[in-house]
Chain A
Amino acid sequence: MVRAVSADEVAPTRHAWRIEAVGLSVKAGRHLAVDNLGLTLGSGVHGLLGPNGAGKSTLMRALATVVKPHGGVLRLTGADATASRELRPVRRRLGYLPQQFGYYPRFTVREYVEYVAWLREMPASAVPGATQRAIDRVRLTDRADAKLKSLSGGMLRRAGIAQAIVNEPDLLLLDEPTVGLDPEQRVEFRELIRELGADACVLVSTHLVEDVVAACSDVILMDQGTRVFQGLPADLVRHGETGGVGDSAAERGYSYLLQQHRSA
């Protein structure tokens, strides 16, 4: 019998946080890129800010279960992500757009998104519909059957976002999603992640402070592998009133917090 709501969807939540990291360390090569990081994130849109080399992408890769943490505790939707045994159910509920989004140039957007849906073990009957929905949501409907190599940089980024959201993940990790998007598309993208953040935990890594202030309910600032600040975008703006350099209050708050951390 076909039911509109599956048993999984109505199961009670058994975890307090979607992402819970305690003393997390992750290596990038031999370098300890994330060092003793504590982080708890629930539903909503969270912005991950930090200068280049702060360990943002390495943290995202660890949260996406691509690399194994070097040490510490990492729980994703309640399951221990450092144990290989528990990865499979977590990965079904995960969406990830890597910073370097590689792709098969000869495939169409639809083929590619369907392939990722299959990789995430979506039921075969749900794949075509979910693929179409994901493509519609990123406004690529008219290019759905175009080959990936024929797309512009911004369109590719949107195809990458489509593959990340195709399984309607509980945990959505987007690494630099707004690179290559024009201002109008950025506004649309912010709307999309706000919509997704109503149910899911969306973590957006970026170095565009404006994106974070506009779209996120929560800001995490990282530097040299540790967390410098976590709070509301308004708090970041308030820090900007006390000092720092930048064109907007949020940028001043960003640089002020980094200066404080580095001088401490």
Chain B
Amino acid sequence: MTAHVPPPALVAYAAGSPDDAAAWTIEVHLEGCAECRDRLGELAAPPLRALLGDAREAILAQARTGPRPVPRRPLRRWWLRWTDWSLLAWAAMTCTAILAAVLLDRNYPEQPSTVLLLAPVAPLAGLAVAWSRRANPNWEVVAGTARAGLELLLRRTLAVLLLVAPVLAVAGLAVGRNPALWLLPCLTFTAATLLLGSRVGVPLAAAVLGGGWLTAVAAASFTGDADAARAAAVTEALLRPATMPAWAAAAAVLTALTVLRADHLRRAAG
């Protein structure tokens, strides 16, 4: 499609005079060229215009007898594509847990920080729900579609992180800690969940990693001795500015491995 239909040819076509071969050439062009269609419309003879006008009115009259068009709700479409209804209940639960952690930290400042303990694995519950067969009523339909897999999972992961990160940031400021200290561990745990999820399914991976972190760190920091300063040292030692490059490197490596294993995420669990 390099050139438009020359005006004389278009005039001849509008008058109905060219031979079949010429008409086909023009029609093939008109099919894809709005500009030439507009020019053809201007060239139409008055009787044809009257006919087209009548046809238009007849169509509009019929169209009005159908059901009234309902205004589109782009927000809903956007919501479906990026998240899922099942995430709402989970979001409320995570926010409550973080709030509880903030209250604990405020009332017992001498104890190891619960916010610090909870923050790195806060998004995992959301990931488990976003990619779970049980939590998602429409799972059977979604799981067998072309977009199911890493794309849909990443969309929901992003939604989860966007929901959690601001709450965590506010919680961090409320207890007087730098939120940057757990944002990277958050990403690392998320990437690890996706990677492990490509083998055992995301819900199980989230349970294993989240549960593992909580029990390991809680066991190390809360049990045994009453020396609060020493107990707090475990989470503090893992989440401090000096360890951030290690968390970042781990997040990068895990993300790369997840992308390499993207095909394995096409089906829900293993």
Are B77 and A115 in contact, with the CB atoms below 8 A?
yes
Within 8 A of A (CB), among B100-157: 136-149, 152
Binary contact track A147-182/B, C-beta < 8 Å → 1, others 0: 000000000000000010000000000000000000
Pairwise interchain contact A91-B146, C-beta atoms closer than 8 A: yes
Q: From B28, which residue of chain A is reached at the shortest CB distance?
A: A1
Instruction: Point out the residues of chain A lying under 8 angstroms from B176, CB to CB.
Output: none
Could you say which residues of chain A place their CB within 8 Å of the CB of B66?
141
Q: Is the CB of B267 within 8 A of A84?
A: yes
Find out whether the CB atom of A111 lies under 8 angstroms from the CB atom of B77.
yes
Give B248-267 interface residues, CB cut-off 8 Å to A: 263-264, 266-267
B70 close to A (CB within 8 Å) = yes
Flag if B31 contacts A2 (CB, 8 Å): yes
Q: How far is the CA of A100 from the CA of B73 in the complex (A)?
A: 27
B:14-47 near A, CB below 8 Å: 31-32
B147 near A119: Cβ-Cβ < 8 Å:
yes
**Residues of chain B within 8 A of A120, CB atoms compared:** 145-147
Query: Across the interface, do A121 and B266 meet the contact criterion of CB distance under 8 Å?
Result: no
Q: Please determine whether A66 and B70 come into contact, CB atoms closer than 8 angstroms.
A: no
Which 9 residue pairs of A and B lie closest in terms of their CB atoms, listed nearest first?
A: A102-B137, A98-B140, A1-B32, A119-B145, A145-B70, A84-B263, A64-B144, A91-B146, A121-B146
Q: Are A102 and B267 in contact (CB-based, < 8 A)? A: no
B67 partner, pick from A106, A114, A116, A142, beta carbons under 8 A: A142
Contact B146 A104 (CB under 8 A): no
Q: With a 10 A CB-CB cut-off, give which of A61, A65, A121 has the most chain B CB atoms.
A: A65
Interface residues of B (CB under 8 A from A): 1, 31-32, 66-67, 70, 73, 76-77, 80-81, 85, 136-149, 152, 263-264, 266-268, 270
CB-CB < 8 A to A100: which residues of B? Answer: 140
Nearest-Cβ distance from residue B35 to partner chain A, whole angstroms? 13
* Contact residues in A for B137 (Cβ distance below 8 Å): 102-104
In the bound complex, CA of A108 to CA of B67 (Å): 14
Q: What are 5 A-B pairs at a CB distance below 8 A?
A: A84-B264, A85-B263, A102-B141, A108-B70, A111-B76
Cβ of A145 to closest chain B Cβ, rounded Å: 4
B141 and A116 form a contact (CB under 8 A): yes
Asked whether any CB of chain B lies closer than 8 Å to the CB of A261, the reply is no
A15: which B residues are within 8 A, CB to CB? none
Can you name the residue of chain A whose Cβ is closest to the Cβ of B71? A145
Distance in angstroms between the alpha carbons of A65 and B142 in the assembled complex:
11
Contacts of A107 in B (CB 8 A): 76, 80
Chain A residue nearest to B261 in the complex (CB): A84
Cβ–Cβ contact A101 & B267, under 8 A:
no
Considering the chains assembled together, what is the distance between the CA atoms of A211 and B76 in angstroms? 38
Q: How far is the CB of B255 from chain A (nearest CB, A)?
A: 19
